[in-house]
Structure 1
Amino acid sequence: MNSIEKIRHNEAEMNRILIGRRDEVRGCFLAMLAQQHCILFGPWGEAKSMLLDQFVQGISGAVVFNKTVAQDTLPDDLFVAAYDFIVEDLGGGKQRNITEPITTGMLPVAHFAMLRELFRCSGPTLNALLTAINERKWESRGVRYSMPLISVFGDTNNLPGEDLEAFYDRFMLRYVVGRTMEKSERIKIRQFSHRRRQGDSQAKINPEPITLDELAGLQEEVLLVNVNERIDDLIETIIERLYEEGVIIYGRRDARLNPLLQANALIEGRDEVTEADLVDVLPHCLWDNPDQRIVVKKTVLAVANPIGLLVQELLDEALEIRNEACSKKKQDGSSKSDQEFARGGSEAIAKFKKLISGDAATGVKGILQLLEDAKKGGYPSKSIEDARESVQRYQKDVAKEVMGMDF
């Protein structure tokens, strides 16, 4: 198994166990290959730490620094394990005491850093971190030293304040990790957890470790992936349209987009960045506030894959149909009767079929027709196939929960 095959294997293993975290898992690998940084937003208990811990298990020889930071966290808490006190002979009977920092196991020697609640840091600590993540340098006694740092992964419950914008801007990849909404997926998560407690090895991630030398080789390969002028033109169009929507992407982040796109193309087995990479990556790079995620995703789709935008609208409609059918409450808050509940399930199944196969009577295309259009037009089709699978899962959920049927 060569280096990139190991990456694909490890990603597949993580997706097998970490149900519903496909985007976040891909983000970890993109950050590593592009030597960028990634942050996960979300409440406690949503497997953010587990995701990061499992990710680094697939990297052989890597030093990983883990720390939960707080307002009283000092730079030394991140950079220095202890101090060695040395007496220096100056000659002539004179001496002076020197303190030498010991950095074993700390951030200066780490290849990867996992920082929890990182926006709670104080000013001096944030300044030290900013130098580390931006320049891969740290300072002691006025001397700057290089660091082997590849990527910093942060997780937090809170958005940063305005005084932290420069620090936040260094985290190119951004994900909101929420509760897994689909009941069938939550059942899978519970089953995997139960099997792990019983010692089932197949309920654990079984990575193919990649060495740091292999990783360095892949990082060089990333830079060889071609980005043609047409792709850069599409990126500029997306940024301009987002500007009109009030979403501003400053030059520093703009300049760091291409390595992430190249890394995604490499994982997908392409030697050139395509529209599919824009769709996969940019929705996770171009927002500052989670409220901007929808407009960012729709803008990216409208430019890079207009058929995908139509499919996304069908997928949004399917989710609304599922949630309405599975709820025993009407929109006005009153309870549905058993007959109304069952009838709603039957109507939802019929709507799902039209969303997938289209409506011949009205000429409205479904996901299957749009998938064919995408393939004929050379547009990315993976996200459309994923949407079809999602609608089929919603269909099964309604059939089982509302109608008591295995669909």
Structure 2
Amino acid sequence: MAEPLKKQLPSDLTSRIEALRDALLTGLVERDVPVRLALLAALAGEHLLLIGPPGTAKSLVARRLHLAFHPATYFERLLTRFTVPEELFGPLSIKGLEEDRYERLTEAYLPKASVAFLDEIFKANSAILNALLTLLNEREFDNGKRRESTPLISVVGASNELPEGEELDALFDRFLLRCHVGPVSKAGFPSLLELRGDVVAEFSRQLRLSDEDLAEVRQAATAVAVPGDVVALLADLRDWCTAEGIQVSDRRWRKIVKLLQTAALTNGRDRVSIWDCWLLQHCLWSEPEQRAKVHDWYEARAGASAAMDPSRLTRIVVSWEARLKQDQDSRSQARDAEGNLLFKDTDGKPTVNKGGRAQARRGGEPLYLAPHDAYAKDPGSYGTGYNNSKITDRTNAGAGFTRGELNAYWIHDPSRNFRQFDRWANRDAYLTNQANWHMEDVDLPPFMEPTRQKAAHVDACLKELTTLGQQVETYKTQLLAHIASLDADIRAHLWVTDDFAEPAARSLEGTRREVDTLLGRLEKLRQGFELLPREEAAR
């Protein structure tokens, strides 16, 4: 919800600004954005650049802006490659030349204008460029030996194309607000055809803003706070612009803050809102297609710009989940009730013995004893003298037998005479009987169990998770209030167009779902840490 100003602008001034905006929009089709931007630029002491083809009402925006101020003079000029300084800044004074003074007669020219429209501004040549830059930035004009202050409120520049050449980069940067103006859309075309004659914006002299009014707005804007969530958003946006190759100067970022302060002030607030940042899309692009990219970034980020935004919260939760998994996966050697280390015997059971007996292996294969009635050759070929081939050393001189080696021996089977080991009916039973395994002494592995965590560690983790959960709940409460007031905030906003309400609502709802998911993950984390085994308290 909008917060009241600690030191409000006079109510009549606030209402006049809103009435001026509405009056300036009278009879225009799909020129809502450039008109709003033009008036805001003037209030903030900035300039507006309109890029687009001829016949798209660019000059009309400037002429209407001039009507918002009194007293105010207006200057308009189309620049070409051959434009000379005299056309912009006035002719040289003949009398001054006679007196060895190089001065211009600036009356009715740009140095005396309050509002100016410079068409095809990027055709400005080097002869006028430096003077134009000083006038736009410092509101001063070097007239001979004197540097004169000018009454300039704002310049609306226009061009059919973007500037080419490094010498124009500084001029391009002087226009904080930039807007691409295209032909009326298919949906708006019938309304355009319904217009009859020249539609004139009419409003009383009392409605117009004076120099004192402007000074009051600009002075009050400096006291408008820029909260942490907006600073966080601007910092993230700066990083994103760098990654996208969108160059934005430090001076430009400072001017953006001043613009946001003015937007908040004129909407009756003493701090910048996240919705004021809708204007950023018109401040950062160097090429028109970049505006949509900035808008999409902002739309996805709107409502999630606090220092505890979901993306940052997600990283925090992921780190906590990794910490919990590390604690859950941690294993330590178990001890018995007397504190003796436990080892895992061949049956997998705990024992205090460090060593034991296990089936020997060779090359990874288990080893066995030879059967009692095993013969090296088919006893049938020896008649009654088969005992000469009987295996007498079941251990194979302590080396044991692999299964493959046993397959070559013959076994006496009372029911079937003699069979080779691999065809012996009792083969599987023989191999699984541990009495027939060739055993060896081994060191038993430690008997491991989940590590018992120190109580202080678990309690500290639970405390931090509880605090984090409370912060997220507070953030969710603020987010829900933000959602509830969204429609009213945007539709009452002087500078944000109504069509942003729907995508902003979608973005906030997505953020709410994300926060709910994070709260669920935090609860699982809390439960996970509570279930960790703890060390027993010292007796």
Question: With structure 2 as the length reference, what TM-score do the two structures score?
Answer: 0.54
Q: Secondary structure at the match of 1:105?
A: coil
Distance change >3 Å, CA 137–CA 87, structure 1 → 2: closer
Q: Which residue of 2 aligns with 1:263?
A: 262
CA displacement, residues 216-257 of structure 1 (integer Å, 9 cap, x when unaligned): 222222223222233122111111112112222121211110
Q: Which residue of 2 aligns with 1:204?
A: 200
8 A Cα contact 2:23 2:201, kept in partner: yes
Could you tell me how far apart the structure 1 residues matched to 2:229 and 2:282 are? Answer: 21
Q: Which residue of 1 aligns with 2:535?
A: none
CA displacement, residues 248-268 of structure 1 (integer Å, 9 cap, x when unaligned): 212121111011111211232
CA displacement, residues 6-49 of structure 1 (integer Å, 9 cap, x when unaligned): 11111112234222122111111111111011100011111111
Q: Which residue of 1 aligns with 2:109?
A: 106
Could you tell me how far apart the structure 2 residues matched to 1:24 and 1:177 are? Answer: 8
Could you tell me how far apart the structure 2 residues matched to 1:385 and 1:61 are? Answer: 32
Q: Which residue of 1 aligns with 2:218?
A: 219
CA displacement, residues 330-356 of structure 1 (integer Å, 9 cap, x when unaligned): xxxxxxxxxxxxxxxxxxxxxxxxxxx
Pick from 189, 192, 195: which aligns with 1:189? 192
Could you tell me how far apart the structure 1 residues matched to 2:485 and 2:27 are? Answer: 35
Supply the AA of the counterpart residue of 1:9.
A
Query: Shift of the alpha carbon at 1:378?
Result: 6.6
Q: Secondary structure at the match of 2:222?
A: helix
Pick from 54, 66, 85: which aligns with 1:44? 54
Question: Can you give the 5+ residue segments of structure 2 that lack an aligned partner in the other structure?
Answer: 1-10, 306-478, 504-539
Question: With structure 1 as the length reference, what TM-score do the two structures score?
Answer: 0.70
Could you tell me how far apart the structure 1 residues matched to 2:67 and 2:124 are? Answer: 27
8 A Cα contact 1:173 1:284, kept in partner: yes
Q: Secondary structure at the match of 2:104?
A: strand
Q: Secondary structure at the match of 1:128?
A: helix
Supply the AA of the counterpart residue of 1:178.
G
Could you tell me how far apart the structure 2 residues matched to 1:374 and 1:228 are? Answer: 15
Could you tell me how far apart the structure 2 residues matched to 1:138 and 1:385 are? Answer: 40
Query: Shift of the alpha carbon at 1:373?
Result: 9.0
Distance change >3 Å, CA 97–CA 2, structure 1 → 2: same
Supply the AA of the counterpart residue of 1:228.
P
8 A Cα contact 1:237 1:303, kept in partner: no
Alignment of 1:4-403 (within 5 A): 4-85=14-95, 97-98=100-101, 100-163=103-166, 164-183=168-187, 185-191=188-194, 193-194=195-196, 196=197, 203-207=199-203, 208-279=207-278, 281-305=279-303, 375-376=483-484, 381-382=490-491, 386=499
Query: Shift of the alpha carbon at 1:387?
Result: 5.2
Query: Shift of the alpha carbon at 1:3?
Result: 2.0
Query: Shift of the alpha carbon at 1:4?
Result: 2.3
Q: Which residue of 2 aligns with 1:346?
A: none
Show structure 1 runs of 4+ deviating over 6 A: 377-380
What value does the CA root-mean-square deviation take over the aligned residues? Answer: 2.7
Q: Secondary structure at the match of 1:139?
A: strand
Supply the AA of the counterpart residue of 1:139.
D
Query: Shift of the alpha carbon at 1:129?
Result: 0.5
Q: Which residue of 1 aligns with 2:374?
A: none
Could you tell me how far apart the structure 2 residues matched to 1:47 and 1:60 are? Answer: 23
8 A Cα contact 2:33 2:497, kept in partner: no
Q: Which residue of 1 aligns with 2:350?
A: none
Question: Can you give the 5+ residue segments of structure 1 that lack an aligned partner in the other structure?
Answer: 89-95, 198-202, 308-370, 391-407
Q: How many residues align?
A: 311
8 A Cα contact 1:33 1:215, kept in partner: yes
Could you tell me how far apart the structure 2 residues matched to 1:378 and 1:116 are? Answer: 38
Could you tell me how far apart the structure 2 residues matched to 1:226 and 1:12 are? Answer: 27
Could you tell me how far apart the structure 2 residues matched to 1:270 and 1:67 are? Answer: 38
Q: Whose helix fraction is larger, Structure 1's or Structure 2's?
A: 1
Could you tell me how far apart the structure 2 residues matched to 1:134 and 1:291 are? Answer: 27
Percent of aligned positions that are identical: 31
8 A Cα contact 1:84 1:102, kept in partner: no
Query: Shift of the alpha carbon at 1:165?
Result: 0.8
Could you tell me how far apart the structure 2 residues matched to 1:86 and 1:288 are? Answer: 43
Could you tell me how far apart the structure 1 residues matched to 2:138 and 2:120 are? Answer: 22
Query: Shift of the alpha carbon at 1:276?
Result: 0.3
